[in-house]
Every structure is written in structure tokens, then in C-alpha cells.
Amino acid sequence: MKTERSFAKTFDSLEDIHTFLEKSISASGLGIKQAYTLNLAAEEIFTNMVKYGSESSNDVKVRLSMSEKEVILCMIDSDVAEFDISSVKKIDSNRPVESIKPGGLGLHLVQNMADKFQYDYIDGSAIFTVTINIAK
């Protein structure tokens, strides 16, 4: 099953995105941990799009594809500058949490919690794809 919807690039859209995801995955067999990861990924990616993709006011496309084995979340922000994901500083998880500066932690969590995390930049669009395996 595939479903797609566009959302205004404002923080006010976060609740609608979560509702869209919840309705879409309700019959998918996705476990609580995987559903949490999916929602965290959507929130972190969308928040970064709103904060750092301000050169475009285009809606953000949220595409969800589900099979028996996996759920794939694809978020597309068009007419924006390329964001080199490899430039995000790696977080040292052995450091005390109070010594970690804000910024980049959410993306770090998504990269480590998802089964696959991919960033592409194609024809002026930033495309984030998160794959989560369905535990059976």
C-alpha cells in the first residue's frame, strides 16, 4: 500500500502529520517501537525542513509505502538548497548528556533507530527516506 499527502511547511502541520501516519499504519502490523521510530523520524525531518529550508514555502510531500516486511517513509522538500547530511557532526553517545550541545541529536537518533536512513538531493529537492522493518 502507498499513500501520499502534502503538508504546509509550518510547525502547525506536525499534528496533522502524526495523525496521517497513525491512520496509515494502524493495520500495518508495525510494533510500538517501530511506530515510535517512524513518528520520531517524521517529526525530526519535518522540523529540520521548516527550520532550515526556509528559502521555499512549498508544501512538504510525505509518502508512506508499506509491505509485509517494511514501512518506508519518504519526505520531500522541493526548491531548497542541498543539505549535506554527512556534514552533521556525529554524536559521542558515551559523553554525559548535559555536555552535548543542542542540534543534530534528533537526526542522530533517527539514523541509529531506523533500519535504513537515506538522503538524496535530486533536481532541487531534498529527499529523506527512512525504512523500518516490521517485526513479526
pLDDT (tens digit, 9 = 90+) per residue, 76-101? Answer: 999 998 876 656 555 555 556 555 55
Q: Tell me: the pLDDT tens digits for 44-64?
A: 999 989 988 877 889 999 999
pLDDT value at position 94? Answer: 58
- Give domain 2-133's CATH superfamily: Histidine kinase-like ATPase, C-terminal domain (3.30.565.10)
Which helix (H) or strand (E) is 131 found in, with range?
strand 125-133
What does the alpha-carbon distance between residue 15 and residue 7 come to, in Å, rounded to a whole number? 11
**What pLDDT sits at residue 21?**
93
Region 108-134: mean pLDDT is 89
